[in-house]
Chain A
């Protein structure tokens, strides 16, 4: 007994004891709420549990990359929603970053017109609700496009109308697997080339046009490989049948509208983050870089951006997280992401609100944490090494 008391005097033991106690209390509280909810649901005659995930869904999803059919289970429907959420998020993060950096740099430009345009864009975007933005893009996109019978037609193989962009798809993809392999090899070659060039520059001081070579290696050659693969197979060509184009792949206007809305909206916030980050770099650094004779582009790329990055990345991470969460606005315009297909259609079809909302919560949390972990890793890698 005395020995136990003595152990408790140890600060470390005491800390662990309280932490374990607090965790147990938390688990108990959660367990109580879960038990309480499920008891009450049984009393009210409401079905509970997760068996509904294996029921047939019977819900149509007009845009999916998973090969989902209405005869599949609700679990397959959920997976389709997750894939669609990730797809639109990743695409939008990419465009938002590109546009955001450009606008942020424009905002700092000495050119009056450029910086004013950027300022107007940022203020416009930051002061308008996102839902308005999403609906504006959606109905804007729809109003601008023609009916299927009057489609814009590119070379007679690609068609653009209010029902989306119809693109032919290959019937046999084995050629493309080879092309993909070739592209992977080329990327590895490009990385090796860049390393060699850096080593050579360190040794001899000579510059090597890595980017020009990279353009050939990573741009032109893969294109050739793709063309070769495309020529070798037959294509599922969209044709106008009855009301719509059938066949091929259809990029729906809902995706385009949500993608544009999310990326242009988030770009406004990213631009401000970038501006703040760049302004945090001391003027002396820029003057010194100029004095060394670096061109304006190199001053930004080699001196300003690397020092601004540690300031930029943490707030940009929260912008990315916001973007992922904001993708749920797709539900307003029938883009089939998680909230629309799972918290919308599946919830009403099964009525199991608590389970469905808990699952959706878990999914957003997982995606969000994954983004955070990646960004933290990236930040740690790019931390300034001060000597």
Chain B
């Protein structure tokens, strides 16, 4: 009897002491079995998630999902994109049709508390503003008193605009459309004096107007809309992967690792954090149940955060957005990442 207890204890100790046991992850197992990631994106927002004329998805949010595929499966092309509307996005995520949402979605308290979703970090700091006709001579948001404003129903912008004008005792009429595109075309048709959305979204959507030069985006910002990838509750290990892939994108920029110099850095860098990030030391990939070159793959195939930003919404894109709040904290922005230790 004593012997059996002793043997059981020995087996238990040996079990915990041997190679670290990974928590089960249904999502990661499913992704590896099916060979691709299911990523919920926006219906069509230039710069963030937009199918180009060849039918390829491009944009900052799309790049994030590609990085995730490179980290998990070793191949950035192994992503299937599911366009989701403002209304369907939560149901699509909750019902496991997608593994995550990466679609320009604002992090809010009530969403986090009541929808069974977790926000895994911030990949774009957005602020809400308005687009108006240049000839309307609007200098600030206050000049929009008595105006009619088109907005997508159920967006954070809808509530934010209503609250902002009500607080200031200004009367406006807000018209709620089911889809962003319907609101934009109604504004373009003259149904509204202004259309409201985030700065980044507006910069992209402005391209859709009949004559973009006739419209101006106000510089005044009325809200703070941090956005990032969203997962369901449960499956902590999957949430861990989603969170640290985003951190790796940002850390790579901070550490000066780019898609061009990543091979050289991997071979020669003496920086301890770079060596851990790229899987030379530390075996960080294995701790998450991924290969140790997970971060190397995503940097090599998609690039670091800065490269992705410039290509999709920054100076290398038609949107021409400054880095602003989306620069690294060392360069006056808000982006930073916890250390890879």
| A residues in contact (CB < 8 Å) with B | 41, 44-47, 58-60, 62, 70, 139, 142-143, 147, 162-163, 241-244, 246, 253-254, 331-334, 336, 340-341, 343-345, 347-353
Contact A332 B182 (CB under 8 A): yes
| B residues in contact (CB < 8 Å) with A | 86-87, 90-91, 94, 111, 113-117, 136, 144-148, 150, 153-155, 158-159, 162-163, 166, 171, 173-178, 182-183, 185-186, 189-191, 193, 232-234
In the assembly, what is the distance between CA of A332 and CA of B130, in Å? 22
Contact A46 B175 (CB under 8 A): no
Q: Give the nearest-CB partner of B87 in chain A.
A: A348
Contact A345 B154 (CB under 8 A): yes
In the assembly, what is the distance between CA of A46 and CA of B112, in Å? 10
Partner pick for B177 among A59, A334, A350, CB 8 A cutoff: A334
Contact B176 A244 (CB under 8 A): no
In the assembly, what is the distance between CA of A341 and CA of B176, in Å? 8
Contact B116 A46 (CB under 8 A): yes
Partner pick for B162 among A70, A143, A147, CB 8 A cutoff: A70
Say yes or no: A147-B190 contact (C-beta < 8 A), given A58-B163, A243-B147, A344-B154.
Answer: yes
Say yes or no: A349-B146 contact (C-beta < 8 A), given A47-B114, A59-B176, A70-B166.
Answer: no
Contacts of A243 in B (CB 8 A): 136, 144, 146-148, 193
Partner pick for A242 among B145, B166, B185, CB 8 A cutoff: B145
Contact A60 B176 (CB under 8 A): yes
In the assembly, what is the distance between CA of A163 and CA of B189, in Å? 11
Contact B178 A344 (CB under 8 A): yes
Contacts of B144 in A (CB 8 A): 243
Say yes or no: A46-B189 contact (C-beta < 8 A), given A60-B176, A344-B153.
Answer: no
Contact A143 B189 (CB under 8 A): yes
Contacts of A343 in B (CB 8 A): 87
Contacts of B147 in A (CB 8 A): 242-244
Report the minimum CB–CB distance from A357 to chain B (whole Å): 10
Contacts of A139 in B (CB 8 A): 185, 189
The 9 closest A-B pairs by CB, nearest first: A348-B154, A45-B116, A47-B114, A60-B174, A242-B146, A46-B116, A45-B233, A344-B153, A243-B147
In the assembly, what is the distance between CA of A350 and CA of B171, in Å? 25
Contact A46 B115 (CB under 8 A): yes
What is the interface of chain B mostly: helix, strand, loop, or mixed? mixed
Contact B158 A345 (CB under 8 A): yes
In the assembly, what is the distance between CA of A310 and CA of B144, in Å? 57
Most B CB contacts (10 A, CB to CB) among A45, A336, A348 go to A348
Q: Give the nearest-CB partner of A353 in chain B.
A: B91
Contact B232 A44 (CB under 8 A): yes
Contact A59 B190 (CB under 8 A): no
In the assembly, what is the distance between CA of A340 and CA of B189, in Å? 21
In the assembly, what is the distance between CA of A351 and CA of B154, in Å? 10
Contact B186 A334 (CB under 8 A): yes
Contacts of B175 in A (CB 8 A): 62, 254, 334
Q: Give the nearest-CB partner of B138 in chain A.
A: A243
Contacts of B190 in A (CB 8 A): 142, 147, 162
Report the minimum CB–CB distance from A359 to chain B (whole Å): 16
In the assembly, what is the distance between CA of A246 and CA of B170, in Å? 12
A-B contact pairs, 8 of them (CB 8 A): A44-B116, A45-B233, A60-B173, A344-B87, A351-B90, A352-B114, A353-B90, A353-B91
Most B CB contacts (10 A, CB to CB) among A332, A336, A345, A353 go to A345
Contacts of A142 in B (CB 8 A): 186, 189-191
Contact A162 B158 (CB under 8 A): no
In the assembly, what is the distance between CA of A220 and CA of B234, in Å? 71
Contact A332 B159 (CB under 8 A): no
Partner pick for A345 among B111, B116, B153, CB 8 A cutoff: B153
Say yes or no: A332-B173 contact (C-beta < 8 A), given A351-B111, A353-B90.
Answer: no
Contact A348 B146 (CB under 8 A): no
In the assembly, what is the distance between CA of A41 and CA of B113, in Å? 13
Partner pick for B176 among A45, A344, A351, CB 8 A cutoff: A344
In the assembly, what is the distance between CA of A276 and CA of B116, in Å? 55
Contacts of A62 in B (CB 8 A): 148, 173-175
Report the minimum CB–CB distance from A182 to chain B (whole Å): 36
